[in-house]
């Protein structure tokens, strides 16, 4: 399938310009100029017009003229005659149009499609309503601690407080809404990832600053989504959020309707690129509508006002209760899915940061795969053009036997490469998708270990990380995780393609070329050689265990003690195997390099696992970010610590309330009042009775406090 020249799909095979009577279509524009400049059709159209020479000649025709093959080619379309069925510039009916012609006509139409909407310019203009919404929400937000202000700011009162989009550390409610809001930014993030944001002409060394400005602008334009979701003023934020989401949704729909098709994916190219963002925007519209309806019902008194965000989440309280319960005598039997894949824990929830990162990583991975496919289509067409030029060049020479063989091998290599690249797209994609789920599972496993005080899974250098680096790790993690997944997909795809090429040339193509017996013979010799080498290594271990170790000291021992026996034979054994092991070490060293490269490239997308050797983990900046993020979550979301702080805060509020309300005891239930000292002494007595070993650990008391000791002795004797 992948080694024959006829295996290339005719729909995607570009016609070639040669004396045999084929035509030359207009050269396609570079992919990055089409995909990564989405929203700039005017610039793309101008770039396309520059690529076409004077007189309507395409760049390929000019290239043929410069290479000396500018003879008048025979055009595929017949010249118009009186009995012509179609006019020269009239497209045939759709029923008689071939798929290749339809695809080519779609590309030609969309290469000149100019939308009046410029998505990049709309991104700039969207900052105006974004800043307005931020100012409105900031005006409504009250400052808790008011500092001394001058007369000019006195009129503002407590207004214009700082609003935050979301809590990146301790937010466990409304998680999927935040995740979908992150998903709405996927197209702009991919635009930044491709470094397509170039509003300013700056030197090369200042590109990082331009990308920083672009990231801030994208964040500011999407800030209202998060601010309206997290605002306390539900009615106003619902109206503002719905209006802003509707603007983005309408503009995106209008842009897709005006130019739905593209030059590389073909029909509905913009739909393929923008449907995830449209889906996220539609979800946000529904979410803000739900917030509006609920706020109106609360305002009309039809529903009760929702309680404030609790300091202690319900799942955190359940986790602490589980710790205080006695473990069951017999654990429940787990299913295969719970044992091997994932076990649901109702007492654990992922923070909003992890959910948003995962959703955004999924959408960005999808867009990255689509862009990669567009690049593949462009490269495939260029390779088809190269094949045609190669055939033309060989046909113009006299001695074609050797060149024909070389041409055939080159075409076979091209076809195999194209086929393997397409086939390995699926396993590479599934690998990265599996990594995203596996990272979530590892996060839960690692954070639970840290809650229990177990840090053995961390390298010793990370047992006491820097506090400042840990705080920065929270800001870095989400962006770095997405970048690791995207680059990891590309690297894994390349690695799997190379492995596929090796399999094709070592196993498949020899069978296709009727060389299966020779292939099996060489394969058998290779397997036999490796088996002999491995067998000799195993034989060395068996000889050492049988002749050079002393017998077991007990029948229950699993292995012999590390004590030498037959020393003279042992030294002769070492001497004669010394020279062989030198040669064996050469192959083992190469295998070490090969295995390290394979594992390193396979795990490059895993930010939760270092690919550095032991002792060099600090050089892995991604793994350092992962560890810092774990420490921040451990110190700020540990259920035991949060429960303890919740008890302190609740007790402080109750004491403060008792001091403010003069007749607070009237609201208490009727009953005998007991002093705090008596209650404490009673609890102390009960504790010491249940734990007699604590009596010896108590501090010595005054001589007149022998009553309690006497009572304890009486209770213990009884």
| pLDDT tens-digit map of 127-155 | 999 999 999 988 887 766 555 555 555 55
Give ∠ CA 116-120-122 in degrees, rounded to 5: 65
For residue 564, the cross-strand partners are 549
Domain ranges of the chain: 123-147+156-321, 686-718
SS3 content of the chain, % helix, strand, coil (to 5): 65, 0, 35
Structural contact between residues 356 and 181, judged by C-beta atoms closer than 8 angstroms: yes
pLDDT band at 15 (very low <50, low <70, confident <90, very high): very low
Chain mean pLDDT for the chain: 78
Per-residue burial over 427-453, b = 16 or more CB atoms within 10 Å of its CB, e = otherwise:
ebbebbbebbeebbebbbebbebbbee
- When pLDDT is averaged across residues 235-254 and rounded to a whole number, the result is 92
- Across 35-49, 94-108, 668-682, which has the greatest mean pLDDT? 668-682
| pLDDT tens-digit map of 497-535 | 999 999 999 999 999 888 889 889 988 999 999 999 999
Examine the pLDDT at 258 and tell me if it is beyond 70.
yes
- Please give the pLDDT value at position 23: 42
Percent of the chain with pLDDT over 70: 75
Select the more confidently predicted residue: 56 or 620. Answer: 620
| pLDDT tens-digit map of 278-289 | 999 999 999 999
- Please give the pLDDT value at position 477: 92
- Please give the pLDDT value at position 247: 93
- When pLDDT is averaged across residues 177-203 and rounded to a whole number, the result is 78
Examine the pLDDT at 49 and tell me if it is beyond 80.
no
Beta carbons within 8 Å of 62's beta carbon, 6+ residues apart: 53
End-to-end CA distance of the chain: 91
Select the more confidently predicted residue: 677 or 596. Answer: 596
Q: How far apart are CA 225 and CA 280, in angstroms?
A: 11
Examine the pLDDT at 440 and tell me if it is beyond 50.
yes
Select the more confidently predicted residue: 646 or 104. Answer: 646
Q: How many Cα atoms are found within 13 Å in the side-chain-facing hemisphere of 674?
A: 9
Structural contact between residues 480 and 419, judged by C-beta atoms closer than 8 angstroms: no
Of 74-88, 120-134, 277-291, 420-434, the least confident: 74-88
pTM value? 0.73
| pLDDT tens-digit map of 649-671 | 888 887 777 666 555 444 555 55
- Please give the pLDDT value at position 111: 54
Structural contact between residues 351 and 166, judged by C-beta atoms closer than 8 angstroms: no
Helix residue ranges per DSSP H, 327-400: 336-340, 352-395
| pLDDT tens-digit map of 361-395 | 999 999 999 999 989 988 998 998 888 888 888 77
| pLDDT tens-digit map of 313-338 | 888 888 888 888 887 777 777 777 77
- Please give the pLDDT value at position 189: 83
């Amino acid at each position: 399938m992948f080694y024959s020249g006829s295996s290339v799909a005719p729909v995607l095979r570009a016609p070639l310009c040669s004396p045999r009577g084929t035509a030359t279509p207009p050269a396609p524009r570079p992919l990055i100029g089409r995909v990564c400049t989405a929203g700039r059709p005017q610039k793309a159209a101008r770039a396309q017009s520059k690529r076409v020479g004077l007189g309507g000649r395409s760049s390929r025709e000019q290239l043929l003229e410069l290479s000396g093959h500018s003879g008048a080619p025979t055009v595929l379309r017949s010249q118009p005659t009186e009995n012509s069925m179609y006019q020269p510039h009239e497209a045939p009916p759709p029923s008689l149009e071939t798929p290749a012609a339809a695809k080519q006509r779609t590309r030609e139409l969309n290469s000149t499609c100019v939308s009046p909407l410029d998505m990049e310019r709309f991104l700039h203009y969207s900052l105006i309503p974004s800043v307005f919404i931020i100012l409105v929400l900031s005006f409504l937000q009250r400052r808790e601690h008011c500092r001394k202000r001058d007369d000019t700011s006195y009129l503002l009162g407590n207004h214009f407080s700082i609003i935050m989009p979301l809590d990146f550390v301790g937010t466990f409610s409304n998680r999927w809404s935040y995740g979908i809001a992150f998903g709405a930014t996927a197209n702009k993030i991919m635009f930044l990832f491709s470094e397509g944001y170039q509003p300013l002409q700056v030197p090369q060394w200042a590109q990082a600053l331009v990308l920083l400005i672009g990231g801030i602008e994208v964040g500011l334009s999407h800030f209202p989504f998060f601010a309206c979701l997290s605002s306390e003023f539900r009615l106003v934020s619902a109206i503002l959020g719905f209006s802003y989401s509707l603007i983005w949704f309408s503009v995106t729909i209008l842009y897709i309707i005006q130019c739905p098709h593209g030059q590389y994916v073909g029909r509905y190219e913009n739909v393929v690129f923008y449907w995830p963002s449209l889906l996220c925007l539609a979800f946000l519209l529904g979410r803000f509508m739900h917030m509006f309806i609920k706020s109106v019902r609360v305002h009309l008194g039809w529903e009760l006002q929702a309680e404030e965000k609790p300091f202690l989440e319900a799942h955190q309280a359940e986790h602490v209760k589980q710790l205080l319960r006695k473990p069951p005598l017999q654990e429940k039997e787990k299913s295969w899915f719970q044992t091997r894949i994932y076990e649901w824990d109702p007492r654990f929830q992922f923070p909003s940061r992890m959910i948003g990162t995962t959703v955004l990583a999924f959408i960005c991975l999808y867009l990255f795969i689509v862009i990669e496919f567009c690049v593949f289509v462009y490269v495939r067409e260029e390779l088809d053009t190269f094949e045609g030029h190669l055939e033309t060049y060989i046909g113009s020479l006299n001695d074609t036997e050797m060149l024909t063989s070389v041409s055939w091998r080159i075409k076979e290599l091209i076809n195999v490469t194209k086929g393997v690249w397409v086939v390995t797209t699926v396993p590479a994609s599934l690998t990265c998708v599996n990594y995203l789920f596996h990272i979530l599972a590892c996060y839960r496993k690692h954070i639970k270990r840290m809650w229990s005080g177990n840090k053995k899974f961390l390298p010793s250098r990370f047992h006491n990380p820097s506090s400042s680096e840990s705080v920065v790790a929270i800001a870095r993690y989400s962006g770095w995780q997405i970048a690791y997944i995207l680059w990891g997909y590309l690297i894994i795809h390349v690695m799997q393609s190379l492995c596929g090429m090796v399999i094709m040339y070592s196993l498949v193509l020899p069978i296709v070329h009727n060389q299966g017996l020779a292939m099996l013979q060489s394969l058998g010799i290779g397997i036999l050689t490796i088996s002999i080498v491995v067998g000799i290594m195993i034989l060395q271990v068996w000889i050492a265990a049988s002749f050079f170790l002393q017998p077991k000291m007990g029948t229950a021992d699993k292995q012999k003690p590390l004590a030498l026996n037959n020393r003279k034979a042992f030294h002769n054994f070492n001497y004669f195997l010394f020279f062989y092991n030198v040669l064996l070490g050469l192959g083992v060293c190469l295998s070490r390099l090969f295995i390290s490269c394979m594992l390193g490239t396979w795990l490059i997308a895993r930010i939760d696992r270092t690919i550095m050797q032991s002792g060099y983990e600090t050089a892995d900046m991604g793994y350092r970010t992962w560890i810092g993020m774990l420490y921040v979550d451990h110190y700020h979301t540990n259920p035991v610590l949060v429960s303890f702080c919740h008890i302190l805060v609740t007790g402080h509020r109750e004491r403060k309330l008792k001091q403010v309300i003069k007749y607070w005891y009237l609201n208490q239930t009727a009953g005998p009042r007991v002093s705090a000292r008596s209650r404490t002494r009673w609890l102390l007595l009960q504790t010491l009775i249940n734990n007699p070993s604590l009596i010896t650990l108590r501090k010595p008391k005054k001589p007149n406090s022998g009553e309690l000791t006497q009572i304890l002795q009486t209770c213990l004797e009884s």
